[in-house]
């Protein structure tokens, strides 16, 4: 078994002390795993990702890349971990696509040649070479989403967290994203309501419900369990749903 790169033991997160969003959550993710994080609205998916990045406080033991998630370790953790936020406008803050993708490599103190190489590779992997010199405020929602993913790829992290990565994407870019995720060797934790994407890109699923983990296991087993999903206010992936033809007249 490969080494553990994300570990949570008895994790709890609160916005109000009397109302836990997550309570006594425990799981581990091994190097190279691709794990889907699913659950209904308000189940704590985004909260968990934010806690792993050190953006949301937590109680319990949480480690990323062997480092405890606490203030003193955050600079080192963030070199190893990339986070694609749900709202692209919170992630893009420089004038052009190139500048945003180059931001992290430049801050690592890399040479101009290395920065150019890393940006070019990230643009290629996401299929957005044509957006290289575009101003961010002129991008569509889907284009911003792909640029956000490219900014993370340019960091070359060991671990990638994604919060609703397919939101706003058209079918072509959604397919490009799925192909990228399937090809990525990095450890991935992907939170999404797009259960078809999870089914295509993750071998394991963690299902959140009632402030904790309802199920943790093989993606296909969990995502085809209609009774389990309905008990957590979720539906089967579209590819498993029966198509009811429209009545004519």
- 139: tokens are 């991008």
Of residues 169, 167, 166, the one with CA closest to residue 142: 169
Whether the per-residue pLDDT at 244 is higher than 70: the answer is no
pLDDT (tens digit per residue) in 134-188:
999 999 988 999 999 999 999 889 999 999 999 888 898 899 889 989 988 999 9
Measure the CA–CA gap between 42 and 67, rounded to whole angstroms.
28
User: Which domains does the chain carry?
Assistant: 4-240 (3.40.50.300)
58-62, Cβ contacts within 8 angstroms, sequence gap of 24 or more: 58/11, 58/12, 58/13, 58/22, 59/10, 59/11, 59/12, 59/13, 60/8, 60/9, 60/10, 60/11, 60/12, 60/24, 60/25, 61/7, 61/8, 61/9, 61/10, 61/11, 62/7, 62/8, 62/9, 62/11
Is the pLDDT confidence value at 125 over 90?
no
What does the pLDDT look like over 195-212, one tens digit per residue?
999 999 999 999 999 999
Q: Which long-range contacts (CB under 8 A, 24 or more apart) does 107-115 make?
A: 108/79
Local confidence band at 20 (pLDDT 50, 70, 90 cut-offs): confident
- Are residues 169 and 177 in contact, defined by beta-carbon separation less than 8 angstroms? yes
Query: What's the whole-model pTM score?
Result: 0.91
**48 in Cβ contact with 35 (< 8 Å):** no
Alpha helical stretches, state H, the chain: 45-52, 74-80, 97-107, 112-126, 141-155, 171-183, 195-201, 219-223, 226-231
């Amino acid at each position: 078994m490969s080494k553990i790169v994300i570990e949570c033991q008895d994790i709890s997160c609160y916005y109000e002390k009397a109302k836990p969003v997550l309570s006594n959550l425990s799981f581990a993710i091994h190097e190279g795993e691709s794990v889907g994080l699913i659950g209904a609205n308000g189940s704590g998916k985004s909260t968990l990702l934010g806690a792993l990045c050190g953006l949301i406080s937590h109680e319990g033991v949480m480690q990323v890349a062997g480092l405890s998630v606490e203030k003193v370790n955050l600079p080192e953790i963030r070199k190893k971990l990339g986070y694609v936020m749900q709202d692209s406008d919170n992630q893009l803050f420089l004038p052009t696509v190139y500048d945003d993708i180059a931001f992290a490599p430049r801050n690592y103190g890399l040479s101009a040649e290395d920065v150019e190489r890393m940006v070019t590779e990230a643009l290629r992997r996401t299929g957005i070479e044509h957006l290289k010199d575009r101003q961010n405020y002129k991008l569509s929602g889907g284009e911003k989403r792909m640029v956000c993913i490219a900014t993370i790829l340019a960091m070359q992290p060991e671990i990638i967290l994604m919060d609703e990565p397919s939101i706003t994407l058209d079918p072509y870019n959604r397919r490009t994203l799925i192909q990228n995720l399937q090809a990525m060797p990095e450890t991935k934790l992907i939170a999404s309501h797009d259960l078809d994407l999870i089914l295509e890109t993750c071998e394991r699923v963690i299902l959140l419900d009632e402030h904790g983990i309802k199920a943790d296991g093989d993606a296909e087993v969990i995502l085809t369990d209609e009774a389990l999903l309905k008990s957590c206010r979720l539906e089967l992936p579209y590819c498993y749903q029966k198509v009811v033809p429209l009545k004519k007249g």
